[in-house]
Structure 1
Amino acid sequence: SDEPLDEAMCCPSLDTLKTWLPILSWLPRYKLKWLQMDLLAGATVGLTAVPQVLAYAEVAGLPLEYGLYSAFMGGFIYTLLGTSKDVTLGPTAIMSLLCFSVVGGQPHRAVLLSLLCGIIQALMALLRLGFLLDFISSPVIKGFTCAAAITIGFGQIKNILGLKDLPPQFFLEVYYTFKKIPEARIGDVILGLICLSLLVMLMLMKKTLDSEAVHSNSTFSRKLVWVVATMRNALVVIAASLVAFSWEAFGHDVFTITGKTVQGLPPFRPPPTWDNTTNGTIVPFGEIVEGFGDGLAVIPLMGLLESIAIAKAFASQNDYRIDVNQELLAIGVTNIMGSFVSGYPVTGSFGRTAVNSQTGVCTPAGGIVTSVIILLSLAFLMPAFYYIPKASLAAVIICAVAPMVDYTSVTKMWRIHSKLDILPFVVTFLMSFWQVQYGIIGGVAVSGALLLYSTARPKITVSDYGSLVMQFSSGLSFPATAYLSHMVHSNALRASPPRSLVLDCCHISTIDYSVISEFRDMIRQFKRHNVVLIFSNLQPSVLEILLKADLEDMKYTEDVEEALQQLESGNVLDD
């Protein structure tokens, strides 16, 4: 078959080595046709990635070359270890913002953070802990991404306006941005608005096309429009740089430009385990790690969550499957190895992954082409980056994060789901403006509290058929024992006179020791009040547990109708 290796990538291998190195599953079947598509996709993503990662380094508060340092390792590592043909690893807006919030734009600490995050992620993969990501709910993710997009986007307004020395805290940044508007540089404002307009226009043009635009049966004009729209970031940044260079050549300081960047490939060396303060004091490893605080938990988890969500989305779209724990390993190893070339934490990029998929990539090998382009940029193009206007990079970032503000998700949650789903969204959204990691922690805490509340307060339906019938909508566990006791006492035992009760257990699949103890006490109290408690619709596994518990005077029937008949006739079985 000449189809991409979707099937080969989703079929489980019997060889342990192929499990740990997925490249061994698809490389022996590699075809020339796939090479052509991988080269095209890799080159397209590379030209998209270069201006993006330069802009994301700005978000992380790092010198621009650190964006490129962080972007090339993922292509090589993911080709060996990844299980998705579409995913591209590298700096993203959210990870850059998180990195800035933890290390405050200090390069040495950002590199060390990458090493530690990678170790945590790789250990999670080896211990098969991918299921922990299931505890971060969708409202928390939506709240965080919306707040992060607003924070990142507004943080670039200062570059559009040409303002400097604004505080990094969001609310202070908003205040001083508006306060300093009279100080805006007209050249930056005009160039920034033009870049924004061009990017939006090209983005809308691309939305009118689909992936068929790059296939052989498409017209040349459609292909050309698709290519131009796809590479819009690179084209706009190049055009803005030429404009800035022209003005600078004539001695006019009109735009705020990037300035000098370090040319050449980064040295391959272990990340620093210490740092210097501004006054020359050495900061030891332990103190640096202590300063990372909860960022050491938030950043690895968010990196994994972002990448795996992207991988699952494109796997579903293109009809193949991924291995979650193997994806964790690929991200972890990428961050570990990236720290040896001065990279900061990375994850899967939705925008670049979408470009990769739409261009028709067939295997993860497309990432190698992307990485080579980034390495060539580091080796030869860094002097040209001197003239990149900061306003153009700001426009790239704003257009990249704008789609993340998904306001429709709020109305959907309110209309379709439980109204309580809004609460973790709101908490995460608001707290993320204070500190992004606090927003995630707060949202997870609220989601956990709601989950515990639903466990402790299961829905119980009470019906009256002459005798009371009480049905549980979910399983019972120890947090629900107090609520169960309250419902039974208030509806049956405290009635005047006390009434017999049938417990419909059709939805109960598991019980624990606390629930069994509560059942024993309830049976004793019903007997004391001269009324009857009957269990019905017990699943075999639950019945077996109750029989082993040897509950004295326990009565049960196969269904509710039989229990009601026995209560009506007064002929209650002793079983």
Structure 2
Amino acid sequence: MCDYDDELYHERLPNVCGAINAKAKNCCSTDSIKRKLPICTWLPKYKAKYLIDDIVAGLTVGLTAVAQGIAYGAVAGLPNVYGLYSSFMGSFTYIFFGTCKDITVGPTAIISMMVNPHIDGNPDLAVLLCFLSGCLILLLGLLNLGVLMRFISIPVTTGFTLAAALTVGSGQINNLFGIQSNSNEFLKSWINFFGHITETRRNDALLGCCTMIVLLFMRKLKDVKWGFHQLNRYLSLCRNVLAVIVGILLCYLLSRGDNEMPFRISGEIQAGLPPVRVPPFETQDADGEPMNFSEMVSKLGGSIASIALLSILESVAIAKSFSKGKIVDASQEMVALGCCNVFSSFFSSMPITGSFARSAVNNASGVQTTLGGAITGILILMTLAFLTPTFAYIPKATLAAIIIAAMLFMVEYDKIAEIWRAKKRDMLPFLATALSCLFWSLEYGMLVGIVVNALFILKKSMTPQFQLETQKHNGIELCLAELKGSVDYTAAEYLKITIVTHVTERHMGNGNVSLVIIKGAEINSIDATVAATIVSLQEDLKLLQCDLICWNWNLAAAGVVCRLHKKSRNMFKFTKNFSELLETIPPAHGGNDSHIACDLNQ
């Protein structure tokens, strides 16, 4: 025996080594490198005529990113400058790893909203969260786990988007009217608003409401056909930037010194480029007490995983929206997003992901390649270097109007209507997700939606599709069960209980079922649990003076039962039609196993 094993070992060793070498060569092949670094594919094909389009798109997105970066830094509870820090490095990194030319990576309203309660305004915690979530996203991408995104259904993502938009918009309602507020949560924001509505500042309310109305009007300006259509389109794309510029001018012109501002302003923004340093692995809490790495991770808790998951969802969803018929490699998008977060964390960034609003601007501006992200990054760097004193005059009401106007169009109204029309049952996971996110938390609300959706799938697998009817043939009363789909272990017990209950009820009534036939031509395979349940069903039916026949089962499925219990071979029958089956059954229903193929033992 030892000699045989040794000989077999030496025979198989070259094959194993060959397979390992082949996989190693494949990992280092040119095609593999191009898959992981898409820039190697599009850069050699880059044409000079693309440059103008990429520059125009990059500048347009950059102006929008500056305004939103400042706003989302405040949403996250951080100094405004961290929103700008988070905007530029992601744009550069995505050039090398991203597959979708339209995606722009940076801070978003949803992610900023989710970061806020976990960091208590501590930038070190935000940067570490960016690094750790980035590492997790990168690991999932390298393991090709993009397929996991298929388990999150449209009703769940639609419900989450609705709740996130309502939460983020509600968090800015106080700033829109100049009311002091320390909360960005849905309920607390509205409670604070109605509780302090008498503290509304007239100037802030007028500026905020007028700004939002103008933004909504300018959004539709691109659809106006009269006049200079191209100019209208660019004015529509730059509406956020124009709103910021007008807000700054009004605040500067109406101010009477630093202590007499006409509006509540964002405050001074730290000038200069972001510091390049390793993500902090120790910091101090709000009371000045030192926190080591393990305490920081404990403080961040489940937000590391939840923010990573939602970052992936946002980015992959945007890639699919702008794919235009191309297949989206979700795993590569995860690699790109992970790298963006990891590298950005070395530049004091909070967690970032793909932004739908800026990606839409990028697409509408005619971007040709991901090189447009470089122009966006350069513009943000120039802003940090030279324009931060100017942005200190941005009114909070202006930023609130920009965020609320964006959130109004983030809700996918058409998808909600489609879900209602297509299948009303899918409204349950949608509502479960939306309500849990609104009244509990965004991260746990998403999990609630996934669990509710999984329960539907589990329920479906526990109730196999089969028709059960009683017939009489040649004086024999029989029960015919025709399975319509696969039978998993979760459905085995349901099948058994249903058949036994039906036979028992017939015996208690006027009928007397003496034979049960299970037609299983559509069953391709079963597991050991189903096989054991079939054997148990046969024994239970014998106690009721009833026989069991499995008719025209797939050989692979029948083989599992026969290998488990060899004496069960006689209950399998294989005939062309139902009449031939009845002819093989003698009055005693003993059966004839001549139709059983030898494949059942294989």
Distance in structure 2 (CA, Å) of the matches to 1:22 and 1:391: 41
Map 1:3-14 → 2, pairs under 5 A: none
Aligned with 2:339 (options 333, 341, 363): 333
| Aligned position for 2:599 | none
| Aligned position for 2:57 | 41
Aligned with 1:183 (options 183, 199, 213): 199
Is residue 504–residue 560 contact of structure 1 (8 Å, CA) maintained in 2?
no
| Aligned position for 1:307 | 315
Distance in structure 2 (CA, Å) of the matches to 1:358 and 1:172: 37
Q: Does 1:223 align with 2:230?
A: yes
Q: Does 1:172 align with 2:188?
A: yes
Q: Does 1:405 align with 2:442?
A: no
* Distance of aligned partners of 1:465 and 1:72 in 2 relative to their CA distance in 1, 3 Å threshold: farther
Q: Does 1:502 align with 2:510?
A: no
| Aligned position for 1:141 | 157
Is residue 167–residue 185 contact of structure 2 (8 Å, CA) maintained in 1?
no
Aligned with 1:52 (options 68, 79, 88): 68
Structure with the bigger RCO (C-alpha within 8 Å, sep 6+) is 1
Aligned with 2:578 (options 529, 554, 561): 561
* Distance of aligned partners of 1:553 and 1:407 in 2 relative to their CA distance in 1, 3 Å threshold: same
- Code of the residue aligned with 2:230 in structure 1: it is K
Bigger Cα Rg: 2
Q: Does 1:132 align with 2:148?
A: yes
Question: 1:361 Cα shift?
Answer: 1.7
Q: Deviations over 1:403-462 (max 9, x none)?
A: 22334544433332251x222222221221222122112222222222222222233322
Q: Does 1:428 align with 2:433?
A: yes
Distance in structure 2 (CA, Å) of the matches to 1:448 and 1:171: 29
| Aligned position for 1:3 | none
2:480 counterpart SS class: strand
Aligned with 2:480 (options 469, 472, 476): 469
- The root-mean-square deviation of aligned C-alpha atoms, in Å, is 2.3
Distance in structure 2 (CA, Å) of the matches to 1:489 and 1:508: 21
Is residue 509–residue 542 contact of structure 1 (8 Å, CA) maintained in 2?
yes
Q: Does 1:347 align with 2:353?
A: yes
| Aligned position for 1:112 | 128
Q: Deviations over 1:286-345 (max 9, x none)?
A: 111112222122110111011111111211x2x322321111111001101111101111
Aligned with 1:232 (options 225, 236, 239): 239
Q: Does 1:542 align with 2:557?
A: yes
Distance in structure 1 (CA, Å) of the matches to 2:583 and 2:546: 13
Map 1:434-449 → 2, pairs under 5 A: 434-449=440-455
Distance in structure 1 (CA, Å) of the matches to 2:514 and 2:62: 74
Q: Deviations over 1:150-179 (max 9, x none)?
A: 111011111111111444443222112111
Q: Deviations over 1:502-546 (max 9, x none)?
A: 323244333211001111222333445444433345345434544
Q: Deviations over 1:12-35 (max 9, x none)?
A: x96221122111111111111222
Distance in structure 2 (CA, Å) of the matches to 1:75 and 1:531: 72
Aligned with 2:303 (options 292, 295, 306): 295
* Distance of aligned partners of 1:307 and 1:567 in 2 relative to their CA distance in 1, 3 Å threshold: farther
Aligned with 1:380 (options 379, 386, 393): 386
Question: 1:486 Cα shift?
Answer: 0.8
- Number of equivalenced pairs: 551
* Distance of aligned partners of 1:105 and 1:424 in 2 relative to their CA distance in 1, 3 Å threshold: farther
* Distance of aligned partners of 1:234 and 1:492 in 2 relative to their CA distance in 1, 3 Å threshold: same
Distance in structure 1 (CA, Å) of the matches to 2:236 and 2:161: 25
Distance in structure 2 (CA, Å) of the matches to 1:359 and 1:391: 28
- Tell me, which stretches of 5 or more residues in structure 2 are unaligned? 1-28, 473-477, 597-602
- Code of the residue aligned with 1:68 in structure 2: it is L
Question: 1:72 Cα shift?
Answer: 1.0
Aligned with 2:282 (options 262, 265, 274): 274
Distance in structure 1 (CA, Å) of the matches to 2:140 and 2:119: 23
1:273 counterpart SS class: coil
Identity %: 37
Q: Does 1:264 align with 2:272?
A: yes
Question: 1:558 Cα shift?
Answer: 5.5
Normalising by the residue count of structure 1, what TM-score does the alignment of the two structures yield? 0.90
* Distance of aligned partners of 1:404 and 1:557 in 2 relative to their CA distance in 1, 3 Å threshold: farther
Distance in structure 2 (CA, Å) of the matches to 1:345 and 1:559: 64
- Code of the residue aligned with 2:435 in structure 1: it is L
Q: Does 1:452 align with 2:467?
A: no
Greater mean deviation of Cα atoms: 367-376 or 194-203: 367-376
Q: Deviations over 1:68-100 (max 9, x none)?
A: 111111221111111112211111111111111
Is residue 534–residue 561 contact of structure 2 (8 Å, CA) maintained in 1?
no
Is residue 101–residue 435 contact of structure 1 (8 Å, CA) maintained in 2?
no
Distance in structure 1 (CA, Å) of the matches to 2:158 and 2:133: 23
Normalising by the residue count of structure 2, what TM-score does the alignment of the two structures yield? 0.86
- Code of the residue aligned with 2:368 in structure 1: it is C
| Aligned position for 1:521 | 536
| Aligned position for 1:241 | 248
- Tell me, which stretches of 5 or more residues in structure 1 are unaligned? 1-12, 210-218
Distance in structure 1 (CA, Å) of the matches to 2:269 and 2:107: 18
| Aligned position for 2:22 | none
Distance in structure 2 (CA, Å) of the matches to 1:287 and 1:416: 48
Question: 1:384 Cα shift?
Answer: 0.8
Distance in structure 2 (CA, Å) of the matches to 1:360 and 1:489: 66
- Code of the residue aligned with 1:522 in structure 2: it is L
1:269 counterpart SS class: coil
